[in-house]
Amino acid sequence: NAGVTQTPKFQVLKTGQSMTLQCAQDMNHNSMYWYRQDPGMGLRLIYYSASEGTTDKGEVPNGYNVSRLNKREFSLRLESAAPSQTSVYFCASSGVNTGELFFGEGSRLTVL
């Protein structure tokens, strides 16, 4: 039982490049989330998916797209990376509404 797994753990991009962060959970959770963590800013929600086939914007969705591929997988795509997207990204899942969030290990992204 691996919980929430996200890849890659580290990535360096040049401005304008694109990339996709992958996330998978094996806990049969309905809801999945992408957060970004910046110093002094806490965890800010980028997008979330309440169930397979649905996605919704969070607090900071600009510059990102997501895909809920199936119940297990939720990917985050940066189409044209910008230095402001340098951050640590966390994927999370939860089983029921108002339930515990289980986080992945994080992906540290640097955009030069």
Partner 1 sequence: GENVEQHPSTLSVQEGDSAVIKCTYSDSASNYFPWYKQELGKRPQLIIDIRSNVGEKKDQRIAVTLNKTAKHFSLHITETQPEDSAVYFCAAHPSNTGNQFYFGTGTSLTVIP
Contact 105, 10 (CB under 8 A): no
CB-side exposure of 70: number of CA atoms within 13 Å? Answer: 5
Distance CA(51)–CA(17), nearest Å, equals 30
Least spacing, CB of residue 42 vs partner 1, in Å: 4
The contact pattern for partner 1, residues 7-46, with x = CB under 8 A and - = no contact, is ------------------------x-x-x----xxxxxx-
Contact between 101 and partner 1 per CB under 8 A: yes
Contact between 98 and partner 1 per CB under 8 A: yes
